[in-house]
């Protein structure tokens, strides 16, 4: 009774009074199957020639983010419940920093690369970055 007023520890699943361990196994098994389906789709999409090639990278990124979501929900038991607000807020801040670091680095380096002067004629070195 008093447990409910505290936040929930990340990784802890809410344990209802009348449930056995079988429902916990069911949650993990559901997560495993969803993750397997998403992984198999990723490997198929990377190796097939049926899909529009320029869209493959975007599709792979979407599949990876979906699978990360599956892991967070079914393995780490992150929910939207009020006892999980702190965990979700910390996660949201982490995701923000990850996005800023990755997207910012790619943007800045691509921009630098574009505005680099072409190499002088005598030194015919391939300059990638």
Partner 1 sequence: MNIAVETVDLRREALPSASEAGPAPKRIIVAYGFWIFLLSDIVMFAALFAAYAVLVQATAGGPSGAQLFSQVNVAIETACLLASSYTCGLMSLAVRSRRRVGFYLGAVVTFALGAAFLGLEINEFAGMIDRGATPQTSAFLSAFFTLVGCHGLHVAVGLIWLVVMMAQVAVKGFRPTVERRLLCFSLFWHALDIIWVGLFTVVYLMGVHP
What is the smallest separation between the CB atom of 18 and partner 1, expressed in angstroms? 15
Give the span between the Cα atoms of 65 and 45, in whole angstroms: 15
Q: In the numeric block, which tokens belong to residue 18?
A: 């009348």
Burial of 63 (0-12, 13-18, 19+ CB in 10 A): buried
Residue closer to partner 1, measured from CB, 31 or 117: 31
Q: In the numeric block, which tokens belong to residue 49?
A: 């020639």
Report the candidate in 21, 89, 23, 12 with the shortest Cα–Cα distance to residue 4: 12
Using rule CB under 8 A, residue 84 touches partner 1 = no
Binding site for partner 1 (CB under 8 A): 2, 4-12, 15, 21, 24-25, 28-29, 31-32, 35-36, 39, 42-43, 45-47, 53, 56-57, 60-61, 63-64, 67-68, 71-72, 75-76, 86-87, 90-91, 93-94, 97-98, 101-102, 104-106, 109, 126, 128-129
């Amino acid at each position: 009774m008093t447990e409910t007023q505290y936040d929930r520890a990340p990784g802890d699943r809410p344990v209802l009074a009348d449930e056995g361990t079988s429902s916990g196994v069911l949650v993990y098994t559901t997560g495993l199957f969803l993750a397997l389906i998403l992984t198999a789709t990723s490997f198929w999409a990377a190796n097939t020639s049926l899909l529009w090639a320029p869209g493959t990278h975007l599709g792979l990124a979407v599949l990876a983010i979906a699978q990360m979501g599956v892991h967070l929900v079914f393995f780490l038991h992150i929910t939207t419940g009020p006892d999980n607000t702190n965990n979700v807020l910390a996660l949201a801040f982490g995701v923000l920093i990850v996005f800023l670091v990755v997207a910012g680095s790619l943007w800045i380096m691509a921009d630098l690369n574009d505005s680099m002067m072409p190499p002088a004629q005598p030194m015919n070195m391939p300059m990638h970055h």
